[in-house]
Amino acid sequence: MDRMPKTTKQIFILSGQSNMAGRGGVYKDHHHHNHQYWDKVVPPECQPNQDILRLSVKLQWEQAQEPLHADIDSKKVCGVGPGMSFANMVREKMGAVVGLVPCAVGATAIKQWARGELLYENMVRRAKESVEDGGEIKGLLWYQGESDTSHIHDADVYQGNIEKLIKNVREDLGLPSLPIIMVAIISGDGKYEEKVREAQLRINLPNVVCVDAKGLGLQEDRLHLTTEAQVKLGHLLADAYLNNFASSWKRFFSCLLCLA
């Protein structure tokens, strides 16, 4: 793919576990025990566009399409996540090329995203590679926590661990004000779901916004968001970004249109 002009690509890191990787439209095949399949239904809000790119597992930019995490969360069946509906809305509102950097892996606990761990280091490596041919990292979208709901200790230390992750990723990317948009979980593997939710909603750090997934639909497994819910979540994430972090850019763009 041709290299993009250095000033046009707005880059977003997508990270966390399965609901960020996308399980919308992924179902169990009842005829084959434990086998899963994706129904391949792509809503209009998630359709590909030439101005929405993704960084592949081979660190190459390509046109983004569902499932965004197929070659990243490769040991699981991936379906629709929030990334494409987010990207389409940001592209429409800002008129920019959007670059997505998928990094999420299902069934991962926060301790697996600590500095020095494989998942964290891979995320940072991919993020750094994403700006090599131009563009600017505009935010990290984070949806994780379900795997920290099984044990009281994990839930108790969740807030400290996620705050440390935010500090570390900003340091390692050299972006001290990097916008972080988190999702407060609505499902989990264990009984401490509400405790993890409260920790996520309690975080009060500069340039960190929490989007509450409460009210979004879950699939039969009561763990993963439906396709429709993923579309809505993508729009909630886009609204959070546009309203909290893109207002000055939009004013500048509007002024240019007035002068044209």
As annotated, the active-site residues are 18, 221, 224
Distance CA 9, CA 61 (A): 11
The count of residues in the chain is: 260
Start-to-end CA distance of the chain, whole Å, equals 31
Q: Contact, 231 vs 46, CB < 8 A?
A: yes
List, in order, residues 6 or more apart from 1 with CB less than 8 Å away: 53, 60, 61, 62, 63
Q: Per DSSP, what are the bridge partners of residue 16? A: 143
